[in-house]
Amino acid sequence: MTALKFETGTVPFNHPSLPSPCKTWYKIAGDLFSSASGRPLVVLHGGPGMAHNYLLSLTGLASKHGIPVIFYDQIGGGLSTHYREKRLDTDFWTSNLFIAELDNLLLHLGIASDFDLLGQSWGGMLAAMFAIRGHPGLNRLILSNSPASMPLMVQSCNQWRSQLPHDIKDALSRHEADQSYDDPEYVSAVEYFYTLHLCRVLPFPKDLTDTLAYVEEDDTVYRTMNGPSEFTVIGSLKHWTIVDQIHKIKNETLLLNAEFDEVNDSCIDPFFSEIDKVKWYKFANASHCTMLEIPHEYNRVVAEFLLR
């Protein structure tokens, strides 16, 4: 059996809003241009401000199904250029900036004429916005664990939060009232929520802890656009919604979420109702990072959609 080919590199990225040219880091699993390869799949990570690591189980799509998979770190996260001086600068960290970065990556890699997208969490929000604008090279779209609006996601997280033990709920409420988000008690309470609704594999897999370590080292993008936690959304995405634009998505679309996902069914419903060519698969006994909890089932569902 031929060993799976890997390639890593950086793409120069210039944008009018950037104080200086930056670099987008990427990793390719598989051969983009082999006659034996399928259409490339570009994977958009969550956050905003996370990194690609927690999605690396999708490499199995390349090794088992011949689908080249492109991971990349969005600027401000992981191994791409950081702009710590832009912390809390909501005019700088915008969806348009990240869409421009994706366009630039596609052109640089020479795949802009024919590709699929998989966005997870925030990455799916970004992928949906990209699809709404329309792109002639985009074929199939996968929105994994992604809400149609941020108010819907906050509502979903609060529903799960209402089921937490009393002492955990009390700690969250007290520290949110005081805005003491860095207090160890608050951090511990948030982590407890994450063990139920972010990733139910304990201890957290290394791919996830590697991602979270990047955010702990630099939370610029996450704090600016999201806030201190998944359910305390006080950043620029607080009122984000594309519910009234979803009907513009014309690509074949697969929607994914899970039984204990912080993105519950109400977050997915608008996509399912408004996209014409759509399929929805809900995983049992899993949560937000489904690809880490049940990677083989997750990859099977994704591959069946991309290859059918």
Angle at which helices 150-161 and 184-197 cross, to 10°: 100
172-192 per-residue burial string, b: 16 or more CB within 10 A, e: under 16: beebbeeeebeeeebeebbeb
Task: Give the separation between CA 295 and CA 261, rounded to whole angstroms.
Answer: 15
Q: Residue 54 phi/psi, 5° resolution? A: -70, -10
Helix/strand/coil percentages in the chain, nearest 5: 40, 15, 40
Measured CA distances, 85 to 14, 79, 93, 98, 213 (Å): 18, 17, 12, 18, 19
Determine which one of 146, 219, 261, 287 is catalytic.
Answer: 261
Return all residues near 201 (Cβ < 8 A) that are at least 6 apart. Answer: 292, 293
CA-based nearest residue to 286, from 258, 244, 249, 262: 258
- The verdict on whether 288 is a catalytic residue reads yes
Considering the candidates 57, 121, 156, 287, report the single residue annotated as catalytic.
121
34 Cβ contact partners less than 8 Å away, ≥ 6 residues apart: none
Residues 6 or more apart from 170 whose CB is under 8 A from it?
none
- Choice among 82, 135, 197, 288 that is catalytic: 288
Active site residues: 121, 261, 288
